[in-house]
């Protein structure tokens, strides 16, 4: 159930049942990512962050949906902090600065909509 077929940077999981959290593994002191869909309309990328890891404040030109798959994260959007746990989601609006910090080791699915 946790295997996606295909090759290349964007592993396609089309027409297959899969568990997103099982497609990316934690690594000590690191952030691991795996793109599972990539096309002109956007991307779907899985991330695994070790506790204490994060992304510094930045902005993106497109809306992005974060779905927390495992663990806990603090996400700041436009200066407002949000504490998310497994099963929760947030939309980070285009051009609004955001940052994140892993409260525990955590995994997320990031869906970036370009169109």
For the chain, domains (ranges, CATH) are 20-113 (2.60.120.10)
Q: What is the pLDDT of residue 1?
A: 45
Q: What is the pLDDT of residue 115?
A: 73
Residue 13 has phi, psi (to 5 degrees) of -115, 25
| Residue 108 near residue 67 (C-beta atoms within 8 A) | yes
Residues of the chain with confidence (pLDDT) below 70 = 1-13
**Distance in angstroms (rounded) separating the CA atoms of residues 64 and 97:** 12
Q: What is the pLDDT of residue 5?
A: 54
């Amino acid at each position: 159930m946790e295997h996606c077929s295909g090759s290349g940077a964007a592993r396609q999981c089309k027409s297959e049942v899969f568990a997103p959290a099982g497609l990316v593994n934690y690594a000590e002191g690191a952030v691991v990512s795996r793109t599972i869909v990539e096309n002109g309309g956007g991307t779907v990328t899985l991330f695994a962050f070790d506790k204490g890891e994060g992304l510094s404040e930045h902005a993106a030109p497109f809306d992005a949906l974060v779905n927390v798959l495992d663990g806990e994260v603090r996400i700041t959007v436009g200066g407002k902090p949000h504490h998310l746990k497994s099963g929760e989601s947030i939309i980070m609006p285009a051009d609004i600065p955001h940052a994140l910090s892993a409260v525990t080791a955590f995994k997320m699915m990031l869906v970036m909509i370009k169109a």
